Structure 1
């Protein structure tokens, strides 16, 4: 909804998980003022998760929603900023990381999760990231006539399509990129292990870049 709080500036927890004005009090309540997380009842946890989601929280179990938020900034594709403004930024030598990939940048030394994610979960996150990249790039390219900005976004879209071709469920998304189709794809994939299809495509960095996913 348009009247929901939105994150506007700078990286933070909210950059990935959504503006927290509405969901943070719910997310942090385990059943009362002095109730700790380990004492939370199953029914309360179920309701807490549902209510937090309804008020705008993107959980770690919602990889596509997380990836959508990442791509807004890393792809120079925030919907509230015009294509002309982004074109001027590129013209002034603002960088655009066309190869930004969510697994590479989230699984380095400063991992959000203490335990390493399984190959299956990383593959799911990787596919979600490519879907979000395709959508953001396609939409961004359509809102400007600037050749440099358009070319940069089309490169992002082409790269994402090249990866998604390895995923059978992505055929409709590649043909007609849209948020609705991307969500249907992720729902169809569910908990399927795609590591055999895309695991070898997930990039990694050398030991000199410890804050990126290591090879």
Structure 2
């Protein structure tokens, strides 16, 4: 029962929650984007999840008394902010869940180098974005980092939550179909006139990187598993399915040898218990190749993947249409 994604180990951690500025700070400029968010399950989980029957059944099994305040639930389902020396849930899965806690970068990214958008030069803008990146901002161009955030919760990171609590081991998550549905909020560059779908090239990168992060995350999950129970079985199934899909992708795109390397790493360690060292090394290898792919390619060389990528009929929910 996964409602959305959150920054892995970030918004959930005390140091990062101290840097959370909250969605209202983003809404000052990103009005259309925030309106899109308000129509998504990411937004609604703040109100709906504590009332959900299944969520409360899981909480009872895990000894959780307050879903919004227990880190076991809050780390993925809510945005936390430090208030009065304690972490307070302030929203569901929100802007900073995906783009990272904003205190260090929010003024940089919106400052136009101390000018206005009309007078900032391209060189100044480039330096501004470079500085925002260095301060932790995760922008849409950072496909790998965004995917890691999503899969970090959509593939459940806690074994006991599954084996004891009865939580699903993860969503039937795929990066294109989930990012292009109700959560899509690509309205900034059109000044709010359109909610633009991913280009063909970007969709290819989302699909490929998403599969790779699925494999990486599942490998790490198996490595951390301690019991021959549901969690380990589900992680192994996810890893095996991702390996097979990536093998097809590698066959279709031989001009991108890094994909074949990912497949090799996916088979470098047995999908079994008590194998954490080798599974972690394999996951690290997958990660390194994915980073190389995002640095070297922009999707234009991956047209052979188009028939594999889910179309609009598979999107998770409907993307918001901005008002005329």
TM-score (norm 2): 0.55
Deviations 1:6-39 (A, max 9, x none): 211321112222222211121111122xx43343
1:83 matched residue in structure 2: none
Q: Highest CA radius of gyration, 1 or 2?
A: 2
Structure 1 position 146 matched with structure 2 position 219:
no
- Trace 1:121-200 onto structure 2 (pairs within 5 A): 121-147=202-228, 148-165=230-247, 166-167=249-250, 168=254, 169=257, 170-176=259-265, 177-178=283-284, 179-196=287-304, 198-200=305-307
What is the deviation of 1:50?
0.6
For residue 300 of structure 2, give the secondary structure of its aligned residue in structure 1.
coil
- What's the counterpart of residue 62 of structure 1? 142
1:210 is aligned to 2:320: no
Correspondence 1:102 to 2:175: yes
Query: Structure 2 stretches of 5 or more lacking a match?
Result: 1-8, 13-74, 79-92, 187-194, 266-282, 320-324
Query: Contact between 1:17 and 1:58, CA under 8 Å: does it hold in 2?
Result: yes
- Quote the offset at 1:127 in angstroms: 0.6
Say whether residues 1:90 and 2:90 are aligned partners.
Answer: no
Instruction: State the distance in 1 between where 2:129 and 2:166 align.
Output: 42
Deviation at 1:88, TM superposition (A): 2.1
* Counterpart secondary structure, 1:39: coil
Q: Distance in 1 between matches of 2:124 and 2:311?
A: 39
Compared CA separation, residues 39 and 208, structure 1 to 2 (3 A): closer
Q: 133-142 or 6-15: which moved more?
A: 6-15
Note the C-alpha offset of 1:191. 4.2
Alpha carbons 2:180, 2:316 under 8 Å: kept? no
| CA apart distance, 1:70 | 0.8
Partner of 2:112: 30
Q: Does 1:118 align with 2:199?
A: yes
Q: What is the rounded CA distance, in whole Å, between the counterparts of 2:311 and 2:160 in structure 1? A: 32
How far the C-alpha of 1:205 sits from its partner, in A, is 6.4
Residue 39 in structure 1 maps to residue 111 in structure 2: no
SS in structure 2 opposite 1:37?
Answer: coil
Aligned length: 197
8 Å contact from structure 1 (residues 106, 112) kept in 2: no
Indicate the larger mover: 113-122 or 87-96: 87-96
Q: TM-score normalized by structure 1?
A: 0.81
With over 3 angstroms needed to count, the CA separation of the structure-2 counterparts of 1:160 and 1:58, relative to structure 1, is same
Consecutive unaligned residues in structure 1, runs of 5 or more: 78-85
Quote the offset at 1:55 in angstroms. Answer: 1.2
